[in-house]
């Protein structure tokens, strides 16, 4: 189809879906239903865990190809390779500043609120065996090991390893190689561009299963741990949720306002993905959709391809808030008073140990174990205090991480002058614009937009 005919396919030509066919409505209904099943029929709810695990596994199956085709074709289409380096430098500068800020916010709130004060728990009475596996995993975490882990064993094993950073490395190198060998490599470029259409069609097919995955995941969480398990540690849970909310609305809200958009409008724009993250406790479940929606909101493909995947390992605001808040909660609960220097050391260690936790359920708990192991005055066994409620805090970590990466993508795109402000404004208003003719022609060559997405950007 010619670009002009695509541009003429106005969004109004598509009939509006009834509310019960909207994905976010279906996911919300599934979360409510799952919570009720888990509460009133806990054994049955706990048995539904495979539904959530299966859906997450399906999405993770498609993440590597999504990242590879998006990044490789995006970079291959860039004439000036220095632009890629510029995006990377600005993205990592953003990640460093706001990840550190999240750690400091968690530290300040923990000192002010002191959620663990007064519990007076004897460390000798804690069940160290319950967190032994997390501590053992944490022992394998090191900066050198992390850096070497980015390099895959073979060119193709990156796609099968499940490591986002390995896929990203191979995709960047492939994109640069394709760009450097064009026009001889035009055939490879065209094959990848066509393959991207297939991959994103598959993403849309899998997203139709999101309500089932959210239903099973939330039913398991409530059925296995019970709402009552929140009562004993309600102070910590409440403090963490409130701190994360304030970080998103105030800190990220100010950043968004300075960048020309509203954080609340962004949350509304991403409501389907946020509900999916809430239901599955994993921000990875919505990674493909986030990449697609950021392009529709006006961010250039190259920026989206670099910022979003790297942000899933290096820009974990929710995880960072959780780490300092939980570490000080444990110290307060067992009566250990940390000096200012020890708290500063905690932040420095957390800045390193938090890298590589790519939004998977439970990763925050492992990274917390790695952090505590370097601060001997706080017993790692103290993690047993929060083991039962970690699953409930996992949702908040994932939601905060997800919003933080969406904001980072738009901000870096603006810094790079790679943001279409008109399309951003339209997306934030809930009316995604049709792609201009030149963008449609470009995306016909490079993906990932299909004809229907180019026309309206809907049903994502």
On whether the CB atoms of residues 352 and 143 are closer than 8 A, the answer is yes
**pLDDT given for residue 408 in this prediction:** 94
**pLDDT given for residue 453 in this prediction:** 37
Residue pLDDT tens, the chain, 460 long: 333 333 333 344 445 667 667 776 787 888 888 888 888 888 888 888 888 888 877 877 877 787 788 778 777 766 666 777 788 889 889 988 998 899 899 889 988 888 777 666 666 555 455 454 444 544 455 556 656 777 888 877 777 776 767 877 888 888 888 878 877 777 887 888 788 778 878 877 887 887 888 888 888 878 876 766 566 567 888 889 999 999 999 999 999 999 989 999 999 999 888 888 887 777 777 888 888 889 888 888 888 888 888 888 788 888 889 888 888 888 887 777 877 887 887 777 777 666 544 444 455 666 676 667 666 677 766 776 776 677 778 888 889 999 999 999 999 999 988 888 888 998 998 887 765 544 444 443 433 333 333 333 333 3
**pLDDT given for residue 434 in this prediction:** 61
Domain boundaries along the sequence of the chain: 3-456
| Token representation of residue 428 | 């934030």
Q: Where are the beta strands (DSSP E) in 63-188?
A: none
For the purposes of burial, counting CB atoms within 10 Å of the CB of 135, is it exposed (0-12), middle (13-18) or buried (19 or more)? middle
Place of tokens 């004439």: 79
> Which CATH code fits 3-456?
1.10.3860.10
| Token representation of residue 183 | 């026009």
| CA–CA gap between residue 460 and residue 446 (Å, rounded) | 19
299: three-class secondary structure by DSSP: strand
**pLDDT given for residue 326 in this prediction:** 85
**pLDDT given for residue 418 in this prediction:** 87
**pLDDT given for residue 409 in this prediction:** 93
| CA–CA gap between residue 378 and residue 313 (Å, rounded) | 26
Q: How many beta carbons lie within 10 A of that of residue 373, not counting itself?
A: 16
| CA–CA gap between residue 318 and residue 290 (Å, rounded) | 17
Q: What is the DSSP string of 289-352?
A: HHHHHHHHTTB-HHHHHHHHHHHHHH--HHHHHHHHHHHHHHHHHTT----HHHHHHHHHHHHH
For the purposes of burial, counting CB atoms within 10 Å of the CB of 177, is it exposed (0-12), middle (13-18) or buried (19 or more)? middle
**pLDDT given for residue 443 in this prediction:** 43
């Amino acid at each position: 189809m010619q670009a002009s005919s695509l541009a003429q396919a106005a969004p109004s030509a598509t009939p509006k879906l009834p509310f019960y066919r909207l994905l976010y409505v279906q996911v919300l209904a599934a979360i409510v239903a799952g919570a009720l099943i888990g509460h009133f029929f806990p054994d049955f709810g706990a048995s539904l865990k495979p539904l959530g695990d299966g859906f997450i596994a399906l999405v993770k199956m498609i993440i590597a190809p999504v990242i590879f085709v998006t990044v490789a074709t995006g970079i291959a289409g860039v004439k000036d390779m220095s632009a890629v380096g510029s995006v990377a430098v600005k993205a990592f500068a953003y990640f460093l500043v706001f990840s550190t800020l999240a750690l400091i916010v968690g530290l300040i709130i923990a000192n002010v609120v002191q959620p663990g004060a007064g519990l007076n728990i004897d460390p000798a009475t804690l069940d160290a065996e319950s967190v032994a596996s997390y501590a053992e995993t944490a022992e394998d975490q090191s900066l050198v090991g992390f850096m070497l882990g980015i390099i895959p064993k073979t060119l193709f094993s990156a796609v099968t390893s499940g490591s986002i950073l390995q896929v990203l490395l191979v995709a960047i190198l492939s994109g640069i190689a394709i760009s450097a060998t064009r026009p001889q490599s035009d055939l490879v470029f065209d094959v990848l561009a066509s393959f991207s259409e297939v991959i994103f069609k598959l993403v849309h097919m899998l997203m139709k299963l999101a309500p089932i995955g959210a239903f099973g995941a939330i039913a398991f969480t409530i059925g296995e741990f019970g709402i009552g398990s929140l009562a004993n540690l309600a102070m910590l849970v409440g403090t963490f949720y409130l701190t994360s909310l304030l970080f998103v609305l105030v800190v990220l809200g100010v950043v968004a306002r300075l960048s020309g958009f509203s954080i609340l409008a962004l949350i509304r724009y991403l409501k389907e993905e946020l509900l999916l993250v809430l239901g599955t406790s994993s921000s990875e479940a919505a990674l493909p959709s986030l990449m697609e929606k950021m392009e529709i909101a006006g961010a250039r493909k190259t920026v989206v391809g670099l910022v979003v995947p790297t942000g899933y390992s290096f820009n974990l605001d929710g995880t960072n808030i959780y780490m300092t808040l939980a570490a000080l909660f444990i110290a307060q609960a067992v009566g250990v008073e940390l000096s200012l220097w020890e708290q500063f050391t905690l932040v420095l260690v957390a800045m390193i140990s938090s890298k590589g936790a790519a939004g998977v359920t439970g990763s925050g708990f492992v990274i917390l174990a790695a952090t505590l192991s370097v601060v001997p005055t706080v017993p790692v066994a103290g993690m047993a205090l929060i083991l039962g409620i970690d699953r409930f805090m996992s949702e908040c970590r994932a939601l905060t991480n997800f919003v933080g990466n969406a904001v980072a993508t738009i901000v870096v795109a603006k810094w790079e002058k790679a943001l279409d402000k008109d399309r951003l404004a339209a997306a934030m208003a809930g009316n995604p614009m049709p792609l201009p003719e030149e963008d449609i022609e470009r995306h016909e060559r490079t993906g990932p937009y299909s004809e229907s997405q180019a026309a309206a950007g809907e049903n994502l």
